[in-house]
Amino acid sequence: MAVAKFYHLTRDPLETLLPKLIGRALEMGMTVALRGTDTQRMQALDRQLWLNDGFLPHGMVGGPHDADQPVLLVADATPVAALANQPGCLITLDSAPVTPDEARAVERLCIVFDGTNDWVVAQARQQWRALTGADVAAEYWNRESGRWACVAQHPKP
């Protein structure tokens, strides 16, 4: 079962953190599902992942080679168990939903949210309560000190 790691973006854009999270999961031998809520946003991320210096092999869900993709970009709440690449890591963006059962089914769970948007922050808090209320371990990460640091955990150590 994964620890739900909440990443509060305030200093850097998503495009800076995302390749690091994906790269780390791939280094650990996992396949990845990157779940968002908007098809256009996911298509834009698809283009960025192809063009960035640290190219990350990936594809949009629904292609002929989904099962072979190390990273699948998904713009809806398709359950991780239904994804052809059988992800060990789930990364959610833009308040995309994640269930406690999904948190228990993956090895790594990252919930990335925009700390400059009050509505999105409220959604992240709601996700924290839902997951921790279902006995999913969670960590809250931010860069207030200049470096990424875990500043809260559930359950408390």
Tens of pLDDT, residues 97-144: 999 999 999 999 999 999 999 999 999 999 999 999 999 999 999 998
Domain boundaries, the chain: 12-137
Tell me the per-residue pLDDT of 128-138, one tens digit each, with 9 for 90 and over: 999 999 999 99
| Protein fold of 12-137 | Rossmann fold (3.40.50)
Instruction: pLDDT band for 52, please (50, 70, 90 cuts).
Output: low
Q: How many of the other CB atoms lie within 10 Å of CB of 78?
A: 14
The pLDDT value given to residue 53: 61
Using the Cα atoms of residue 43, residue 117, residue 3 and residue 101 in order, give the sign of their dihedral: negative
Reading the block at residue 99, the tokens are 């269930």
Cβ contacts of 28 within 8 Å, gap of 6 or more: 88, 89, 107, 108
Instruction: pLDDT band for 152, please (50, 70, 90 cuts).
Output: very high
Instruction: pLDDT band for 34, please (50, 70, 90 cuts).
Output: very high
